[in-house]
């Protein structure tokens, strides 16, 4: 299928989603039968992580509080990948890595609130968004959403998935939040998945990721492709980047994803020292949003954001900026911290605010922050 055909299909899914329609079929009955057979075989091989994700809510970068700056509030929504399923320590979760990286770039404390739920699909995003927005105090400054894998495996019609995501982004944007969506990962990279399921999973994942991008950008949010970022790298090194269940990322895998998302997170808040204009030498450009979405779905770490304003002050309608932001490492690695009165209290060894978090067991740890501003 050509890139033009893929772009048309993505636009069709996004249009159906916008008007409240159902799904757009991809596979015939025979193909579905093969897919389900292969899926059953894969499930026998893929392990299941029984433990809850570590509780990582709390304050990061408290050392930056000396100048009295108000802490930034980072919210995280989505599924098991957003929650950090598969790692043992709080600091290894993607939310913790992003919070510590954001604190280092902003030189301000960051309070993390993660309401992501393992197993969640896009139909849970409205509830999760409500948990963030109904909390006492101001809404989050920025919200990261990672969702889509369970929509694919549970065969949710893509137009429905996209519509639900768009509704959540619209609600968050209306509350004043910046929104960054890590689009559907490439399920074809899961090691126990074999052909033809691998091909189907990859195609479905990329199709949904591209349609998610169109919907998010049209609501004023930004997306980062996690698809092929977690594809070739994970396929080439599954022992390191997949966790014990052979399905969720390992600590190193989450670090890879966080490296890609952090620059866009910072750019959404005006903290990243890069021009928002495209750099032709880096293959960046302003494209019709569906074409930018298709290209991003095929190349991991690609950001898609609404096109910058023109000379008339208005961004081109239905166009988007395709950008590859530079990534660097940060030297420190820390977990959530204790805070002073009135602050969000971080998880410590054996003691967290379990009731407020819905996690009475409470876990803690440290992690590695793996992204930072460009040189």
| Tens-binned pLDDT, residue by residue, of the chain (375 aa) | 555 666 666 655 555 454 444 444 444 444 545 554 555 455 444 444 457 889 999 999 988 876 777 899 999 999 989 999 888 899 999 999 999 999 999 999 999 999 999 989 999 999 999 999 999 999 999 999 999 988 987 888 999 999 999 999 999 999 999 999 999 987 766 555 555 666 677 788 888 999 999 999 999 999 999 875 444 444 554 443 333 444 567 778 788 889 889 999 999 999 987 777 788 888 899 999 988 998 888 888 899 999 987 666 666 668 999 998 877 664 345 668 754 433 443 333 333 233 233 332 332 333 333 333 333
Give the list of residues 6+ apart from residue 131 with CB closer than 8 angstroms, or none. Answer: 115
Q: Which residues are paired to 296 by β-bridges?
A: none
Tokens 């096109």, residue?
A: 307
Would you call the peptide bond into 196 cis, given omega within 30 degrees of 0 as the criterion? Answer: yes
Tokens representing 47 are 């392990």
Instruction: Give the whole-angstrom CA distance, residue 6 versus residue 295.
Output: 10
User: In which region does residue 248 sit, left (phi positive, over 0), alpha (psi from -120 to 50) or beta (all else)?
Assistant: beta
Instruction: Give the whole-angstrom CA distance, residue 266 versus residue 105.
Output: 8
Q: What angle do CA 83, 24, 317 make, to 5 degrees?
A: 80
Question: What pLDDT does 371 receive?
Answer: 37
Active site residues: 80, 245, 248
Question: What pLDDT does 88 receive?
Answer: 85
The per-residue b/e assignment along 199-209, b for 16 or more CB within 10 angstroms, e otherwise, is ebbbbbbbbbb
β-strand pairing of 72-78 with 142-146: parallel
Question: What pLDDT does 161 receive?
Answer: 95
């Amino acid at each position: 299928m050509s890139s033009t055909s893929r772009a048309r299909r993505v636009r069709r899914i996004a249009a159906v989603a916008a008007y409240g329609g159902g799904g757009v079929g991809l596979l015939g009955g025979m193909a579905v039968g093969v897919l389900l057979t292969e899926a059953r075989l894969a499930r026998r091989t893929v392990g299941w992580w029984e433990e809850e994700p570590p509780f990582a809510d709390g304050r990061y970068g408290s050392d930056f509080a000396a100048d009295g700056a108000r802490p930034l509030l980072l919210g995280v929504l989505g599924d098991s990948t957003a929650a950090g399923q598969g790692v043992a320590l709080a600091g290894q979760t993607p939310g913790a890595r992003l919070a510590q990286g954001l604190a280092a770039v902003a030189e301000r404390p960051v309070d993390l609130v993660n309401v992501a739920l393992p197993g969640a699909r896009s139909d849970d995003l409205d509830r999760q968004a409500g948990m963030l927005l109904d909390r006492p105090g101001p809404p989050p400054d920025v919200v990261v959403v990672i969702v889509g894998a369970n929509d694919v495996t549970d065969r949710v019609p893509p137009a429905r998935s996209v519509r639900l995501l768009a509704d959540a982004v619209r609600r968050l944007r209306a509350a004043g939040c910046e929104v960054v969506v890590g689009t559907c990962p490439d399920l074809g990279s899961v090691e126990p998945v074999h052909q033809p399921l691998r091909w189907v999973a990859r195609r479905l994942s990329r199709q949904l990721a591209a349609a998610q991008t169109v919907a998010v950008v049209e609501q004023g949010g930004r997306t980062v492709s996690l698809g092929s970022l977690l594809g070739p790298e994970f396929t080439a090194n599954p022992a390191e980047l997949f966790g014990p269940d052979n399905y969720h990322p390992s600590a190193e895998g989450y670090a890879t994803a966080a490296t890609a998302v952090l620059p866009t997170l910072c750019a959404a808040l005006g903290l990243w020292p890069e021009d928002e204009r495209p750099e032709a030498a880096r293959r960046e450009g302003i494209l019709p949003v569906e074409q930018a979405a298709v290209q991003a779905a095929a190349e991991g770490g690609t950001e898609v954001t609404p096109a910058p304003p023109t000379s008339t002050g208005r961004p081109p309608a239905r166009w988007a900026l395709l950008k590859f932001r530079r990534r660097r490492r940060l030297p420190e690695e820390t977990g959530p911290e204790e805070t002073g009165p009135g602050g969000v209290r971080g998880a410590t060894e054996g003691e967290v605010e379990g009731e407020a978090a819905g996690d009475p067991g409470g876990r803690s740890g440290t992690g590695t922050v793996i992204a930072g501003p460009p040189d």
